[in-house]
Chain A
Amino acid sequence: MQPLTNKAQAVSRAPMTFWERLYLINIIKGMFITFSHMFKKQPTTRYPEEKRAFSPVFRGLHVLNRDEEGRERCTACGLCAVACPAEAITMEAAERETGEEHLYREEKYAAKYEINMLRCIFCGLCEEACPKDAIYLSETFAPANYTRKGFIYGKPDLLIPNPKTEASDLALARGVEA
């Protein structure tokens, strides 16, 4: 067969010469190779001080979105839960009462919305399924926890800060995520 690259080399089976059998020269060569690595740039990212930027398509921890007036966008339609291949999302719907119009955008909302981060595979299908632009995958990942329970994220963990009342928090969160 014709070689595809010019990198193929026949292995030399010739008996070793005297200098080769001494090994010393090759050892010294090897030592210079390791020595040259002292001056190479280290690829290490010194993690807590220095963080590597995520790629623009990174899919991290979920957030539940609000609209410009701070109302929750989620209507608890359940499409995300249906789309989820890992069955990580559960929710309970509730009907909006009068006087709650400033909290929920539409008549139906999610009273309970939980994502099990141990089940989630961060595929982003929930994000794609959502007709209300209510769920997004952010650029952070779930921090470590001591208990399994700690990995079940509820609405308080997922909802973004209200742009009306907690504008500074939102800016902070955006700044960190960006």
Chain B
Amino acid sequence: MTILAFDWGLVIEKLILIAVVVFGSLGIALYTTFGERKVAAILQDRPGPNRAGPFGLLQPLADGIKLIMKEEIIPTAANKWLFILGPALAMTASLMTCAVIPWGSDIELFGRKIALQIADINIGILYVFAVVSMGVYGIMIGGWASNNKFSLMSSLRAASQAISYELAMGLALIALLMTTESLSLKTIVEQQVQGNWWNIVYQPLGFLLFFIAALAECNRTPFDLPEAENELNFGYHQEYSSMKLGFYLFAEYINMIMSSAIMASMYFGGYDLPFFDESTVAPNIAAMIGVGTLLIKIVLFIFLFMWIRWTIPRFRYDQLMNLGWKTMIPLALFNLLITGALILANL
């Protein structure tokens, strides 16, 4: 019986947390699709979806029902297993990222101290990078398994784009890690809560590079070449229908939420509400305020993503590669150099 003699409370609390985070992000992703359409409409002087329910709030449900009811088509020439694996992998990879995001400070419930983070692993950021790079496999496999030349080309584009921008992303991040001296997201956020300034103050260039790379990683405009409608007929998910297509589209929105959460945590203080001393209120209330703050930061980032999408046209592929290799990476290295010099000079 010794094998069962561990802290069952921990298992239960983590399971509940996982359920809340996963379904919460799915719910937010659902409404992000609605937000995307609304933001697009408002930026273009249109009212946007406003028929289903009050202010069109039931639109995402209608879209979801429509996607589920559609016929599931697997092309005869497609590799069936990989065809199914593609969207599953894309979805899994994007959902797995949320494991290391600290959603708030610790809360106390039933005499237990519960961390609002699924796993505070000491290599949190490395884990994020590992999982995010898995995401491109979903696109690669889906594009290849479709047995369609446009899908294949688009997945090749996606792969090379992801690789190019992950480099710049990683380099931008190393500069941040040099200042924080920790890979754990929880520690990084706590440093910002305790310290005076958010990391954006120390790493403005790093943040800009990270943000641009995040746009590219999420396949958002102006880097949405993998799904370029006009040249590749929607790219890697061209052959997909019904919920498999839904998973691809959903994975993109979850990626967006997760990268927003990571950017908020690493550069904008995570759950830290500025000009507010958390120790003046009860820890549970402080944690709730923290969660709310992080959610607001995430929403603002998502809005920024959408705002950019409906402003800037797509890059040409050579421009994308030039920007990645000839601008972002040298700038990231420069940023690294400056950061190193400043740390050496002890500023």
Binding site for B on A (CB under 8 A): 27, 30-31, 33-35, 37-38, 40-44, 46
Contacts and interface: CB of A to CB of B under 8 A. Distances in A.
A38 B47 contact: no
Interface range on chain B (Cβ under 8 Å from partner) = 10 to 19
A42 B307 contact: no
B46 interface: yes
Interface of B, helix, strand, loop or mixed by DSSP: loop
A35 B47 contact: no
A44 B47 contact: yes
A46 B47 contact: yes
A48 to B, nearest CB: 10
B176 to A, nearest CB: 20
A54 to B, nearest CB: 22
A43 B46 CA distance: 8
Contacts of A38: 42-43
Contact of A35 (B45, B50, B307, B312): B307
Given A27-B312, A30-B312, A37 B45 contact: yes
13 contacts: A27-B312, A30-B311, A31-B307, A31-B311, A34-B307, A34-B310, A34-B311, A35-B307, A37-B43, A38-B42, A38-B43, A42-B47, A46-B47
A42 B38 CA distance: 13
Interface in B34-92: 42-47, 50
Task: Pick from A34, A40, A43 the residue with the most CB of B within 10 Å.
Answer: A34
Interface of A, helix, strand, loop or mixed by DSSP: helix
Contacts of A33: 311
A136 to B, nearest CB: 35
B150 to A, nearest CB: 29
Contacts of B130: none
A73 to B, nearest CB: 43
A102 to B, nearest CB: 49
Contact of A42 (B45, B310, B312): B45
B204 to A, nearest CB: 12
Contacts of A40: 45
B308 interface: yes
B223 to A, nearest CB: 13
Contacts of B312: 27, 30
A49 to B, nearest CB: 10
A37 B47 contact: no
A44 B307 CA distance: 21
A34 B46 contact: no
A23 to B, nearest CB: 9
Nearest to A30: B311
B294 to A, nearest CB: 24
Nearest to B307: A31
A112 B116 CA distance: 79
Nearest to B313: A30
B200 to A, nearest CB: 16
A178 to B, nearest CB: 28
A31 B308 contact: yes
Contacts of B308: 31
A41 B44 CA distance: 11
Contacts of A37: 42-45
Interface string B277-313: 0000000000000000000000000000001101110
B45 A43 contact: yes
